[in-house]
Amino acid sequence: MVLNYEIKTEKVNKSRLPEVDFTNIPFGRVFTDHMLVSDYINGEWQETNIMPFQELRLSPATTVLHYGQEIFEGLKAYRDAEGNAYLFRPHENFRRFNISADRMVMPQIPKEIFMDGLRELVTLDRGWIPDTEGGSLYIRPFMIATDDYVGIRPSNNYKFIIFCCPVNAYYAEPIKVKIEQEYVRAAKGGIGEAKTGGNYAASLYAASRAQKDGYQQVLWTDAAEHKWIQESGTMNVFFVIGDKVITPNLDGGILQGVTRDSVLRLLRDNEYKIEERPISVDEVVEAYHAGELKEVFGAGTAAVIAYISAIGHLEDDMVLPPVEEWEVANWLQKTMRGIKNFTVPDKYGWMIKA
């Protein structure tokens, strides 16, 4: 066991920062100068290294490449006027990472590696946080099974890595989603609640079919009946029906989003009527035909609040009113942005200095 979790840093000789045009960054394709790596070997976390961003060398037999034993996180850093880096609720990502690790039979990661490493890496690369409107640093911690072995069992060795991408606002335009009633993302007893690559591998087929039909995302329903709404892509979903804001309750099949939790907190503390409960496709369709479906939006780290302008159901689209009229989503968007750019007081202490 490494008792003092010292983090060793090897800096780049020459930063790539001057080559980057921050007004025009494709999402997830530009990486900062450094990354963090820590290996877990035979039951022990080894020393943690921050090093120049680089490729990995892996045996073709590496377990993760065959059986997908891996987990990940996604969170963002923002900068203040002085150029200091702040992380949005990083302890929640740390907590969820270890919950995912448990479900995927992977080792727990100590705070000293995840949190301290995250802070050090982001502080080192803080110059990469765009100062464009809605810009931020997207941070990707992940862990992979690295045994050099093609048998099926939990790996003995793992690699934990964090790297970062400067990003601009994600979905600028409202999106169209399609209610999926044929394919399934997660079933009861499955891994829907873990943030693991397999859930995404399982979703690609349905998502690509929806895209052919002109939708950006699938709106998942439950595996047993295709009746209950779950979530969409990388986001939890909210429906404004009449004067209520409704979101599916955490039933073990959907991801426990940090953004979802933040949205519920803001709504609850500002006298909105919220309901966390099962919500059926039928209820949404009926509300739509009754003129009661006012707003639908997704909540997730990448997009923060993503406006859903239309929902495809069977052969029809339910088209929502123009987003300019949306009270709840617009208020949330403004408030979340304000907290992150320090113009709205951070009452909850969500912004953590790196």
Ligand X SMILES: *Cc1c(COP(=O)(O)O)cnc(C)c1O
Q: What is the contact surface with ligand X in residues (CB under 6 A)? A: 74, 195, 231, 234-236, 255, 257-260, 300-301
Structure tokens at 138: 């997207």
Q: Which residue's entry shows tokens 């439950």?
A: 222
Residue 344 DSSP label? S
Nearer to ligand X, 232 or 341 (CB): 232
Q: What is the DSSP string of 43-99?
A: TEEEEEEEEE-------TTBHHHHH--EEE--EEEEE-TT--EEEESHHHHHHHHHH
Find the shortest distance in angstroms from Cβ 102 to ligand X. 17
Nearer to ligand X, 171 or 288 (CB): 171
Distance CA 108, CA 97 (A): 8
Nearer to ligand X, 136 or 236 (CB): 236
Helix, strand, or coil (residue 13): coil
| Sequence-separated (6 or more) residues with CB below 8 Å from residue 271 | none
Nearer to ligand X, 291 or 349 (CB): 349
Find the shortest distance in angstroms from Cβ 255 to ligand X. 3
Find the shortest distance in angstroms from Cβ 123 to ligand X. 22
Find the shortest distance in angstroms from Cβ 4 to ligand X. 31
Find the shortest distance in angstroms from Cβ 234 to ligand X. 5
Q: Which residue's entry shows tokens 């639908």?
A: 296
Nearer to ligand X, 62 or 298 (CB): 298
Residue 324 DSSP label? G
